Amino acid sequence: MSSYQPVLAKAPTQLIQANGQPAFGLFDGSVVDFNVQDFVYQNLMDNKASALARYFNYKQFQFICVTGSDWLLAVAIADIRYANSGFAYLYRFDTKQAVSKGLLLPGALGCQMSDSPSAGEAKQQFGAYQVAIKTSATNWQLSIDTNELKVDLSIEKAEQMPLALCAPTGYNGFTYTEKSNALKVSGQLELQGNPLDLTNALAGYDFSAGFMRRQTSWRWASINAMVEGKAFGLNMAAGVNETGLCENALWFDGHIQHLSPASFVFDRKDNTKAWQVSSLCGEVQLEFTPLYCRQEKVNIALLASNFRQYVGLYSGFVLLQNGTRLELDAVKGLAEDHYAKW
């Protein structure tokens, strides 16, 4: 068993540096000023990219998951320039039923995105569907108002270090990702007029933005749960931020531990089969059993998306840096398999 302890860089005050290029690295905190307007974006022949290319090649998405005693809430907002999309669903483990709503709108219709992971607001609104995510240095605030879901939550982020990194993407782009799991939650959540218990509920968030590949894909695993009486979070991914950096980490009792590159073994043709999720250096050995899948396929003109997000249960173990072995037994979480052409 080998140890994986990457060196963290001090988080820059601004993402784009004086030379017009991003600060690359695995950071020790959030980047507050996401000054994308200062990025010197060049085309594949090293000439200044056109204004249209600059606009359409920039993508951003935000995601929140909240896990309670017998339910899981997931919500996303994505701006892919040609269109904007989003969803909000709640899965009940006790009844094995889900309430799900989604949007796909042209251009920026009904959508705005946050200026940074620490300052701004992302919104999607169309008819009876309203979702808003406000970001600040101390918390993320989530509000949802649909016919069946009413949510007003505060997710506390200030007490622990996030996973934050910026990596080169393709030849001329970059991707900034910031994630944090196992965060405290307060507020109200109603499903079909009935309040759900937030006692011991934990949340995770994801802010990702940049000039990403025209075609991309990823596999992803996420957990927010109580393990051995303490808050435990996990984020593992393969397919996007892997230019010398990887976006893998766990949180236990408020402390972050960065993890080695991730491996996902699963059967794409069978949504019922278990996944094997592990890390290169052996810190993570998990099996994921899917219970519910939110999926959509879009293939229109310039855009294509083959998206599957699973709610299910993780079992196995993780090893902490101090040698402690944490056993996970049917712990609630998410897994995702996604292809996008955007």
pLDDT tens across the length of the chain (342 residues): 557 889 999 999 999 999 999 999 999 999 999 999 999 999 999 999 999 999 999 999 999 999 999 999 999 999 999 999 999 999 999 999 999 999 999 999 999 999 999 999 999 999 999 999 999 999 999 999 999 999 999 999 998 999 999 999 999 999 999 999 999 999 999 999 999 999 999 999 999 999 999 999 999 999 999 999 999 999 999 998 878 899 999 999 999 999 999 999 999 999 899 999 999 999 999 999 999 999 999 998 888 999 999 999 999 999 999 999 999 999 999 999 999 999
pLDDT at residue number 290 = 98
Answer yes or no: are the C-beta atoms of 130 and 144 closer than 8 Å.
Answer: yes
Q: Which one-letter amino acid corresponds to residue 248?
A: N
Report the alpha-carbon distance of residue 205 to residue 189 in Å, rounded. Answer: 17
Tell me the three-class secondary structure of 157-215, residue by residue: CCCCCCEEEEEEECCCEEEEEEEEEEEEEEEEEEECCEECCCCCCEEEEEEEEEECCCE
Nearest alpha carbon to residue 76 among 60, 92, 91, 98: 60
Which domain range does residue 138 map to? Answer: 25-341
Answer yes or no: are the C-beta atoms of 189 and 195 closer than 8 Å.
Answer: yes
How does pLDDT run across 71-99, given as a tens digit for each residue? 999 999 999 999 999 999 999 999 999 99
Domain assignment present for residue 5? The answer is no
Answer yes or no: are the C-beta atoms of 61 and 79 closer than 8 Å.
Answer: yes
Torsion angle in degrees (nearest 10) through CA of 92, 94, 96, 102: -10
pLDDT at residue number 2 = 55
Domain assignment present for residue 99? The answer is yes
Domain assignment present for residue 15? The answer is no
Strand partners, 154: 141, 186
Backbone angles phi, psi at 58, to 5 degrees: -90, 130
Token duo for residue 307: 């998206």
Q: Which one-letter amino acid corresponds to residue 33?
A: D
Answer yes or no: are the C-beta atoms of 289 and 276 closer than 8 Å.
Answer: no
Report the alpha-carbon distance of residue 203 to residue 223 in Å, rounded. Answer: 9
Domain count, the chain: 1
Domain assignment present for residue 162? The answer is yes
Torsion angle in degrees (nearest 10) through CA of 201, 258, 330, 262: 130
Domain assignment present for residue 6? The answer is no
Domain assignment present for residue 1? The answer is no
pTM of the model: 0.96
Answer yes or no: are the C-beta atoms of 23 and 36 closer than 8 Å.
Answer: no
How does pLDDT run across 224-247, given as a tens digit for each residue? 999 999 999 999 999 988 788 999
- Kindly report the CATH number assigned to the domain that includes residue 200: 2.40.370.10
Domain assignment present for residue 13? The answer is no
Strand partners, 86: 77, 103
pLDDT at residue number 84 = 95
Domain assignment present for residue 152? The answer is yes
Token duo for residue 189: 């959540």
